[in-house]
Chain A
Amino acid sequence: MSLSESMNIEQLIQEFEDLGDWDDQCDYLIDLGRELPKLPDHAKTEEHRVRGCQSNVWLVSEVKAGSPPRLEFIANSDAIIVNGLIAVVTILYSGRTPQEILEIDPRQVFARLGLERHLSSQRRNGLFGMVERIRHLANEAAANSTAK
């Protein structure tokens, strides 16, 4: 199990607080990014590409059947620090129900992590591009489960 799979968002926020310094937090993002589960190359399609990211980001979701269903996300970038940010996003969203996903206020979480302060506006756009895709997929999953 990778670092990001064994952690919840509160633990991550604590880790960021303990590190304190952006340089160390950035090194930690690199570690998270290096350990990110890999997306198979065949999944890196235009359909799965997230818009708004400077580097390429592909994101896929898997719906774990149940009532309500839960969503798992796997995403990869060709840039390592972006992979670290992907780890943050998956820690925040993976394993949750559509309802839970839609209730999360990502801005608040990113602010607590200090990411709002340290990321360029292009990076922030990329981050919110991922969030937008995840919320879209959660909406889809919610619609499918009520339709059944």
Chain B
Amino acid sequence: MNGQPPMDQNIKPGTFDPGQLDVERIRREFPILHRPLPKGLPLVFLDSAASAQKPHSVIDREREVYENFYANAYRGVYQFGARVDEELEGTRARVQQLIGAEEPDEVIFTSGTTMSINLVATAWGRRFLKTGDEILLNPMEHHANLVPWQRVAGDCGAACRYLPLTADGRLDLSRWDEYFSPRTRMVAVTGMSNVLGTINPIREIAQRAHAGGAVLLLDGAQSIPHSPTNVREWNVDFLAFSGHKIYGPSGVGVLYGRRDLLEAMDPFLGGGHMIDRVTLEGSTWAQPPAKFEAGTLPIAQAIALGTAIDFVQGIGFDAIERHEQLLLRYAHAELSKIRGLRIHGPSPEHKGGIVSFTIQDAHPEDLAQLMDRRGVFVRHGHHCTMPLHEWLGVSATVRASFGIYNTPAEVDSLVSAIQFARQKLRLPE
């Protein structure tokens, strides 16, 4: 992580310099943040880890496609068809540059992280996993990075193994050798836990996986919007992420795959555009990325994803990381003062802008619903990580997650909404 700010328990809103990030200017780009809620309350949106809000440029871009040059992709030679192809390739090139891929053809458009991981689990897994092989996972993974592996393991006679976590919710790499075996073929790991906020040392994990001959898949759904990613420098073999968490449209996502792996894998979905030649006797496949892009793509969404990437890169990850770290540290400091509140996960230096917590004698569902009445939007539940919650020993947590548009004053609103909920639930002062 770049530019670690000093730890300061006494940060107050307005008293620190959020780096080069002018949060008020950024907020002006997001129309939804300026619509007051019923009763005139301002919106305090703290659920960007589930899905981020969209800037004007992304919204306008999607509309522009439909209003000016919409057509299906990779089909028509007419002007709109050619324009759509060109715009999609523009996004592909932006993604390539964002993640440091060798070439744009290693970037596949999908519907999102879930589809990307399912694609690898199916198209790579069924091809290469044999009876007795192992997949190394861990308890902090999102269901999207657990269930597809459990399914393919079941089908192929392979086994899922789970690297344990340290007491504070980080991967316990000291126990790697107990769980990584000569039969481990795949290591699938998140860049950042969607509950604990833990940032995992991907470069080191990739090195360990490759040293043992395994392939590494990085679930970048949470990490991509908040910090730089470089698949070549980190030696990541597969990377999955979603457009909607990086301020882009929903319905579009990305799978990056190393070219040789993409070539060796089977296709995932069969259909239009993914073929080389089809006869009634059988078919042959197109080269990647077309091989994995059967059917009509989310066209306008994929084009606007390129705009979202421009938006984020225009701000710069240095400024984003610095801003979100300051929010995180301020939130940790303030939330820790609340009676009965427990933050789950490591200390801020090991995590991104996510604070998941429980409060003694209060159900997360009640807390989230009461906080909503103060205009503070947080998520509650198991956040698609039931094994992690089992490990935490709680059935649910409340999660506040930060994006580039959040402010220290919103952390204060979070705190007062929690106090409001505590009071409504008649918890002791």
Which residues of A are at the interface with B, using a C-beta cutoff of 8 A? Answer: 23, 26-27, 30, 34, 54-56, 77-82
**Bound-state Cα–Cα, A5 to B194, Å:** 43
Contacts of B356-385 to chain A: CB distance below 8 A: 363, 365-366, 369-370, 373, 381
Q: Beyond the given A26-B369, A80-B366, A82-B366, please list 15 additional residue pairs across the A-B interface where CB-CB is below 8 A.
A: A27-B424, A30-B366, A30-B424, A54-B365, A55-B363, A55-B365, A78-B363, A79-B363, A79-B365, A79-B366, A80-B363, A80-B425, A81-B365, A82-B363, A82-B365
Interface contact A26-B373, CB-CB below 8 Å = yes
In the bound complex, residues from chain B placing their C-beta under 8 Å from that of A78 are 363, 395
With A and B bound together, what is the CA distance between A77 and B369 in angstroms? Answer: 15
B19 to chain A, nearest CB (A): 37
Instruction: Provide the residues of chain A in CB contact with B395, threshold 8 Å.
Output: 55-56, 78
Answer whether residue B418 sits at the interface, using C-beta atoms and an 8 A cutoff.
Answer: no
In the complex, which residues 375-425 of chain B have their Cβ closer than 8 Å to any Cβ of chain A? Answer: 381, 395-396, 424-425
Which secondary structure characterizes the binding site on chain A?
helix
Q: For this complex, into which size category does the number of interface residues on chain B fall?
A: 10 to 19
The CA-CA distance from A12 to B425 in the complex, in Å, is 21
User: Which residue from chain B places its CB closest to the CB of A56 in the assembled complex?
Assistant: B395
Select from chain B the residue with minimum beta-carbon distance to A126: B365
B373 to chain A: which residues have CB within 8 Å?
23, 26
A80 to B366, CA, bound (A): 6
> Nearest B residue to A84 by beta-carbon distance?
B366
Question: B424 contacts which chain A residues (CB < 8 A)?
Answer: 27, 30
Would you list the 5 A-B pairs with minimal beta carbon distance, nearest first?
A79-B363, A79-B365, A55-B365, A79-B366, A80-B366
**Residue of A whose beta carbon sits closest to that of B381:** A54
User: What distance in Å separates the Cβ of B396 from its nearest Cβ neighbour in chain A?
Assistant: 7
Chain B residues in 8 Å Cβ range of A27 = 424
- CB nearest to A27 among chain B residues: B424
Considering only CB atoms, which chain B residue lies closest to A120 in the complex?
A: B369
B370 — which chain A residues lie within 8 A by C-beta? Answer: 26, 81
Q: How far is the CB of A32 from the nearest CB of chain B, in Å?
A: 13
User: Roughly how many angstroms separate A23 CA and B421 CA in the complex, as a whole number?
Assistant: 12
- A29 nearest CB across to chain B (Å): 10
A17 CA to B344 CA, complexed, in Å: 41
CA–CA, A145 and B221, complex, Å: 56
